[in-house]
Structure 1
Amino acid sequence: MTSYFPPAGSIPSHASTRSPSPAVSPLSPPTNQRSNALTNRMTSVLSASYADSDIRDALETLSLRGIHNTPEVRRQLRLDVQKEVVDCNAEIVRDFGKVAEQLQRIGTVITSLNETCDEMRKHIGLARQDTTPVLEEASALMQQRKEAETKQHLLEAFTKHFIVSDEDLLVLTSTEEPINDHFFDILARVKQVHRDCEVLLGGENQRLGLELMEKSSRNLNSAYQKLYRWIQKEFKSLNLEDPRISSSIRRALRVLAERPSLFHSCLDYFAEARDYILSDGFHYALTDAVTGAAGDQNVKPIEFSAHDPLRYIGDMLAWVHSTAVSEREALEALFVADGEEIAKGIQAGLNSEPWSRIDEDEEVAFDGHKALSDLVNRDLVGVSRALRQRVELVIQGHDDPVTCYKVVNLLSFYRTTFSKLLGTKSNLAELLETLEKFTFAHFETLMQEAANALSTDHLSLTPPEDLSTPQFLVDALEGLTSLMKTYEASLDTSDRFTPVLRAAFDPFLALATTSAEDLPPTSRTIYLTNIHLTARTTLTPYPFANTTPLTTTLTALRADLLTIQHTYLLRTSGLQTLLSALEPFSQTQEQKHQNLSDIAALPAFQPETLLATSQQLDDFLPSALMDATEHLKRVQSAAFVKSVTEEAVEAFCRDFEFVEGMIIGADEASGKVDVTGEQQLDGEDGEMGLRRLFPRTTGEIRVLLS
């Protein structure tokens, strides 16, 4: 960079030497004044910031001009710069003059344009005044045309949807036209029209909707009446034996379900027709021989087996069951396969015919299986009536209780079968339940009559000499065994045998028990024991027979036998006399200690009497067990006798132990036993001790009676 100050080498040499000061001009400022100006200048230069943008731009400009730092250049630099500035300003003024000219011309053009626009506005305003009525009229005409087209489309759509052609109405209502898919399609369309008329009723003009709804209602009623008559006609020729029932009649039933009154009337007609056919078939199976194929010539009418009630009733029930199953299978396709469609149709019909509801608040739901069962029940009403009459006649004329009970089980089996097939509330199930009760009541009557007849036959009620079970009870138990076998084979899992026991066993057991009243106590107990043992033996193999009352009675009889056997042992051995004498001493322990010395004074413990009792005991012991068993030999259960005898022997041993203890206590109290427990030969009074007179011990008794 060119320096604005002279280089150091350009300073005169005399400036660095101490030469005398130059001469001062009179016009020159004072020396101190020049020094201050120079100092200020130097300070100004040195304080200048070379980072300043103006200085940097100036220096850059100088550098671009390629100016050298010479005195000449420094003198001309300001002039040159000023001259350039003046030239630049002159050029700018010339350019602005040209811009001014252009702006002036533009202003002239804008003025002209404004005048033209004003003129056009005037013309447009005049034209608008002339064309406005025409445009308004054109817009109105276009709007009218658009509305007319819209109305035309609506009319075409309305006619296409709501108006049914005369040809279609003829197919829908004329009885000469067949029931086919075209009929159902037209019917569906008319139903849709009828439903859509409700939308028209919601508009301002309801007359059209009312007229169309009335017309569609008439057409629908005619169509349903035609369908109803056609179904009745088809029912007359319907072959239920054909597993492929016509799809058209199934569809017709689904559609007719939308009119519940017609639907149920049609079902009533069908049920009446089937009732007549099945009743006639049942009568034919009962009375007429089967004709036809050669293989069927050997089949006989059911009435041929009327002499055998069980077979006769079984054949009739088998025929009814077979018919019910066939009828259900044939009608199943009508109700179960299309149950949902029929349910929807019935619900729609109830909505259209609210008067057909029994309970307004009740929710009606169609159950195909229930409807099928109800229809089969109605088809078999006549068969059920004939079946009831014949079963009641056969039962009333039969007097064998076992056969009657077999019939009861047969009826129970078929009642369960029909309950599963048609429901527990079906007519057949209720009929068989009624017949079952009727037959069982007849069975109870027969058993009661047999018991009443026995009650007047005193010879039969006389107990046998060996006190064994009477023959009439044995016969009754044999009959009861047949009844229990029948019940066991019936696969009846419910507890229903108790009424049979009450009718077929309790009266005869009561007669046998009453016949024992005139016997002696021991014989009566043995006789009743034999009766109840025989009865329990008969009932025990059958778990469903309740033996609890017999077991309870046998427990009481066993206690009586135990008392009899115990008394027999005490009486035969002579120990009863000693126990009777010692009874006052067995009350309390305190009385024993106070009165034991008085035992020797009792009559039963006098030497002669006690020796006789001891001898009687010795004579009794060798054959005591055999004699005791022989005493109850008429009891027909050896195990029962053995058990009672063993328990009686044990009670006898306890009694003997008591007597032995009392005798030893009496000797101790009277001093007839020394301190070591040995029996003295003589007491103080010279008499023998009771133990010497009655030497048997409890251990010996147990060994001899074991």
Structure 2
Amino acid sequence: MATAYSGDRPSLSQVNSGSCAGSPATPTSNAAPRSNALQNRITGVLSASCADLEIRDALAILDGRNIQNTADSRRNLRLDVQQELIACNSDIVQDFGKVAEQLKGIGIAIAKLNDSCAEIRKHIGAASRETGPMLDEAKTILADRGQVEKKQQVLDAFKAHFVVSDADLAVLTSTAETVNDDFFRILTRVKKIHEDSQILLGSENQRLGLEILEQSSRQLNAAFQKLYRWVQREFKSLDLENPQISASIRRALRVLAERPTLFQNCLDFFAKAREHIMSNNFYAALTGAPVDANHPVLGKAIELSAHDPLRYVSDMLAWAHSATVSEREALEVLFISEGDEIAKSIQAGIESEPWSRTDQDGSNPMFNGREALNELVDRDLVGVFRQMRQRTEQVIQSHEDATLAYKIANLVTFYCTIFANLLGERSALLESLKPLTDTALRSFRSIMRDHVVNLHSDLSPSADNLSPPDFLLEALDTLRVLMKSYDTSVVTSDRAQRTGGFQSVLQEALDPFLAGCENITKRLRSPDNHILAINCLFTTRDTLRQFSFADRSAELQPRIEEHERELTEAVHTWFLHESGLDTLVENIINVESLASSYKDPAQLAAIAQQLDAFLPTATEDARAFLAQLQDRLLARKIIERAAEAFCEDFEEVEDVIVQGDESRLAQVNGSVEEEVWLRDVFPRTSDEIRVLLS
């Protein structure tokens, strides 16, 4: 910059000297351009700003050189600068010479490298030609190795999924190994293998799928056989009274249900074992002899504590009910606690065992766990109910007691209802209990009929006492016991059903005795026959009214009313006979019959005297006449009705007597005072009669 500035712009002294020296000799034509150029130069110098970077750099260089502002320094500044510039250029040229020499060495080295590379290329080409087949073979080998590694991975995965180790097979099939969680885990895996092997049958090579399917089937069969035998062994030592039943048993049953045949065989074995155990327990409860030392009999033996036959039967039924409830609860824990898992397993097992289908069309109904449970309980307790039935029949046959037989029938009916609610209406146990009811009822009817036959041979009318006969009172006492037994044993709330169920008992225990009373009344005279009949009917009605299902008031009331009318008529007849009006009522119809029958007034006077003697004590005598009628209210009502009928008869007689006096008064020709008037002889009026008989 300094050089350029020094070269382009001469110093002021030079400008001035040049212009002064040359001005006279320079032509005028050249002076004007040079003057303009100088002027422009000066103007440019003067117009330069100190803020210009180039000027500032130049000034900074001048400051750094420590040049004094003198005339010499100003004159020599350009020379010094040029000299320095020349020296710098000389140094640069020398440096570039050295660089050129080094570049020549590099060029030689590069040439040598090129020669070496060419030689190497030749060797590489020759090596490539020699190693090419080997590389191709290596690539082929590496590709084969990759395929082998993939096949090895597939084989490992196949073995891990489809192949079971020998140790696992031993756990799965060996009887020496116990059934535990490892067994069920391996069994689940083998079932998965068996299921997945069917997928292999869809591949091109079906032989592998068939072999795995066959192998897994053998393993599964061996595993289920081991599980089947293990469950049987566990059933032998299983204690259902222990509330903590092993969870492994429940799991084993759920898994074994996938083989319905084996599962059913286990249930059959279990039912036989439980039947034997329950039968022994029942016998131990009856006799007090324990089955084993681990299960002593709690409490007294039934045969030793129940001296009453009914109590004996009741204790047996109560023990059977308690055992049924306990057995059902234990089996619910064993078979139902897993929800519908057993049913699902059985449905899945039916698919693998098509021969186990039960329907004619080849289908199998849905497994019902509750029904299967009830059926299993039935089978477990069939031995108990068989023994109980035999002993109950012995009790019925060895006691000639109709009341006992009927109580046993009601007791068995009551427990039949309980067992039906517990096990269902189709329970096999009910088939053992219901015949007991029929047996007891047959014994009841047979005993009652024998008693009635013996009774009819001894029926004889009572001479003095018209109260119900002893056989009827005994029958009613027995009937009270039967009604109480029936009332406590029948659980239905339907009144019609309760009433209908007891009618057969009334036919056996009441109707023959009422018929016997009726036969006795036929041998008695009136009014004794009606009094006895009413006493019997009233006693019977009051007894039956104690229980609504035995009430026969609607049936007995017409018979009572019939005898009541007959007895009222008898009392009426007694009133007429005792008062003496019977002859008047029978013979007097009108005035002519009065005149023809009673021409002598003394006859009416005698009747009037008899009537007067009767009336003061008529009511008391009537009560005495009906003294043997036990219902005093009915006796009073009968006397009132008879008295009313007597008063009506008296009114008719009174009317005839008054009419007779009136007709005689019309026919009298002589003195009236000499006539004997009937009204004077028979002075009583109907009003007086009503007052005296009221």
Please give the TM-score of this superposition, normalised by the length of structure 2: 0.68
Of 257-266 and 209-218, more deviation after overlay is shown by 209-218
CA offsets, 1:405-428, max 9 Å, x none?
A: 333333333333333333333233
Cα distance, 1:610–1:297 mapped onto 2, change above 3 Å: same
For 1:338, the equivalent position in structure 2 comes to 338
CA offsets, 1:216-244, max 9 Å, x none?
A: 33333222222111111111121222211
In the TM superposition, residue 505 of structure 1 has moved relative to its aligned partner by 2.6
SS at match of 2:220: helix
SS at match of 1:449: helix
For 1:452, the equivalent position in structure 2 comes to 453
- Corresponding position: 1:357 with 2:362: no
- Corresponding position: 1:316 with 2:322: no
The AA in structure 1 aligned to 2:244 is R
For 1:521, the equivalent position in structure 2 comes to 526
2:272–2:380 CA contact under 8 A, matched in 1:
yes
The AA in structure 1 aligned to 2:631 is S
Q: How does 1:634-673 map to 2 (within 5 A)?
A: 634-661=628-655, 670=663
Q: How does 1:375-394 map to 2 (within 5 A)?
A: 375-394=376-395
In the TM superposition, residue 638 of structure 1 has moved relative to its aligned partner by 1.8
SS at match of 2:346: helix
- Corresponding position: 1:632 with 2:643: no
Of 652-661 and 220-229, more deviation after overlay is shown by 652-661
Cα distance, 1:354–1:661 mapped onto 2, change above 3 Å: farther
For 1:557, the equivalent position in structure 2 comes to 563
2:526–2:570 CA contact under 8 A, matched in 1:
no
Structure 1 unmatched ranges of 5 or more = 1-140, 584-595, 674-678
Q: How many angstroms apart in 1 are the aligned matches of 2:346 and 2:652? A: 93
For 1:423, the equivalent position in structure 2 comes to 424
Q: How many angstroms apart in 1 are the aligned matches of 2:296 and 2:152? A: 73
Seq. identity, % = 48
The AA in structure 1 aligned to 2:635 is V
The AA in structure 1 aligned to 2:428 is N
Q: How many angstroms apart in 2 are the aligned matches of 1:597 and 1:324? A: 91
For 2:58, the equivalent position in structure 1 comes to none
Q: How does 1:31-180 map to 2 (within 5 A)?
A: 159=158, 163-167=162-166, 168-180=168-180
Q: How many angstroms apart in 1 are the aligned matches of 2:463 and 2:267? A: 69
For 2:472, the equivalent position in structure 1 comes to 473
1:571 to 574, 577, 596: 577
2:514 to 505, 509, 517: 509
Q: How many angstroms apart in 2 are the aligned matches of 1:622 and 1:393? A: 68
How many pairs align?
Answer: 542
SS at match of 1:497: helix
Q: How does 1:476-487 map to 2 (within 5 A)?
A: 476-487=475-486
SS at match of 1:521: coil
The AA in structure 2 aligned to 1:497 is F
Q: How many angstroms apart in 1 are the aligned matches of 2:641 and 2:556? A: 21
SS at match of 2:426: coil
In the TM superposition, residue 245 of structure 1 has moved relative to its aligned partner by 0.9
In the TM superposition, residue 662 of structure 1 has moved relative to its aligned partner by 5.7
In the TM superposition, residue 178 of structure 1 has moved relative to its aligned partner by 2.8
Q: How many angstroms apart in 2 are the aligned matches of 1:203 and 1:613? A: 133
2:469–2:517 CA contact under 8 A, matched in 1:
yes
Of 175-184 and 380-389, more deviation after overlay is shown by 175-184
For 1:366, the equivalent position in structure 2 comes to 367
SS at match of 1:380: helix
CA offsets, 1:125-180, max 9 Å, x none?
A: xxxxxxxxxxxxxxxx9xx99x9899969956983697232434443333333322
Q: How many angstroms apart in 2 are the aligned matches of 1:671 and 1:527? A: 49
CA offsets, 1:59-108, max 9 Å, x none?
A: xxxxxxxxxxxxxxxxxxxxxxxxxxxxxxxxxxxxxxxxxxxxxxxxxx
The AA in structure 1 aligned to 2:181 is D
1:671–1:683 CA contact under 8 A, matched in 2:
no
For 2:59, the equivalent position in structure 1 comes to none
Tell me how large the CA RMSD over aligned residues is: 4.0
For 2:689, the equivalent position in structure 1 comes to 701
1:683–1:689 CA contact under 8 A, matched in 2:
no
In the TM superposition, residue 250 of structure 1 has moved relative to its aligned partner by 0.3
Q: How many angstroms apart in 1 are the aligned matches of 2:163 and 2:670? A: 142
The AA in structure 1 aligned to 2:481 is S
CA offsets, 1:162-206, max 9 Å, x none?
A: 723243444333333332223223333333444455556667876
The AA in structure 1 aligned to 2:383 is G
For 1:36, the equivalent position in structure 2 comes to none
Structure 2 unmatched ranges of 5 or more = 1-139, 493-497
CA offsets, 1:480-507, max 9 Å, x none?
A: 3333344445464544433333333333
SS at match of 1:242: coil
Q: How does 1:194-273 map to 2 (within 5 A)?
A: 194-196=194-196, 210-273=210-273
1:614–1:693 CA contact under 8 A, matched in 2:
yes
Q: How many angstroms apart in 2 are the aligned matches of 1:358 and 1:256? A: 19
Q: How many angstroms apart in 2 are the aligned matches of 1:543 and 1:433? A: 26
In the TM superposition, residue 664 of structure 1 has moved relative to its aligned partner by 5.7
For 1:87, the equivalent position in structure 2 comes to none
Q: How many angstroms apart in 2 are the aligned matches of 1:604 and 1:354? A: 113
SS at match of 1:515: helix
Cα distance, 1:392–1:213 mapped onto 2, change above 3 Å: same
Q: How many angstroms apart in 2 are the aligned matches of 1:351 and 1:464? A: 87
For 2:279, the equivalent position in structure 1 comes to 279
Cα distance, 1:240–1:681 mapped onto 2, change above 3 Å: farther
Q: How does 1:7-26 map to 2 (within 5 A)?
A: none
- Corresponding position: 1:533 with 2:538: yes
Q: How many angstroms apart in 1 are the aligned matches of 2:182 and 2:265? A: 25
For 2:439, the equivalent position in structure 1 comes to 438
Cα distance, 1:158–1:564 mapped onto 2, change above 3 Å: farther
1:377–1:427 CA contact under 8 A, matched in 2:
yes
Q: How many angstroms apart in 2 are the aligned matches of 1:279 and 1:375? A: 15
SS at match of 1:424: coil
2:587–2:594 CA contact under 8 A, matched in 1:
no
